[in-house]
Amino acid sequence: MVATAIVPQGTATDGSTPDVYRAGRFEPNDFAISAEDTGGDGLILPLAALRAALDGNSASNRRLGLLFSPADRFDEVLPLLERIVVVAVDFPKFADGRGFSHAARLVRAGFAGEIRAVGEVLIDEIPLMRRVGFSAFEVRNATARRYLSEGRDPSPDLHYQPGALSEPPAGTRPWLRRRAT
């Protein structure tokens, strides 16, 4: 298998990791995405490598996460959710929307950790990603990074349909929902 099939496109392979956009600002990335268990703390692994790390008891007190690829089956991921702190959902191309379904299913399954979008994360997808449960974004696209750095978040304040996360009603119209702050 080729390494680019495991590590999301655009991921730095020299050990550097891009900043993470969460809570309205860019923060240092506290997790590295790796194709195999390198023994470090704050490590996001593909499903097979994560399963091996957890089954081999090499996890100890390390913070581990899952790199959830579009082709991964949710029923294989479900038993691991209590043992990880972050799920990085891979978007290998901007036109691949399976990650939206993965995030919504994670929320419905009660996953309380961080759901992070990695790969091809574009500025116009971020509002929709938030509505299905994403709370952090590894943004590599230069335009999206610039817009977010300038505070130009395109998320609307009102929604007509409920999302995966609970949203407060806007007032007299129960079907109109306010963006969660």
pLDDT single digits (tens) 56-65 = 766 567 889 9
pLDDT of amino acid 157: 66
Asked if residue 9 has pLDDT above 80, the reply is: no
Q: What is the pTM of this model?
A: 0.76
Residue 12 structure tokens: 């730095």
Asked if residue 1 has pLDDT above 50, the reply is: no
- Going by their DSSP bridges, the two strands 20-22 and 25-27 should be labelled as antiparallel
More confident residue, 173 or 153: 153
Give me the chain's average pLDDT, please: 80
Asked if residue 13 has pLDDT above 90, the reply is: no
Where exactly are the structural domains of the chain? 18-156
- Residue 26 pLDDT grade (very low, low, confident, very high; cuts 50, 70, 90): very high
CB 54 within 8 A of CB 40: no
Could you report how far apart the first and last alpha carbons of the chain are, in Å?
Answer: 42
pLDDT of amino acid 81: 93
Asked if residue 6 has pLDDT above 50, the reply is: no
Give residue-wise pLDDT tens across range 66-122: 999 988 999 999 999 999 999 999 998 877 888 999 999 999 999 999 999 999 898
Residue 134 and residue 118: Cα distance in Å, rounded? 10
CATH architecture of 18-156: Alpha-Beta Barrel (3.20)
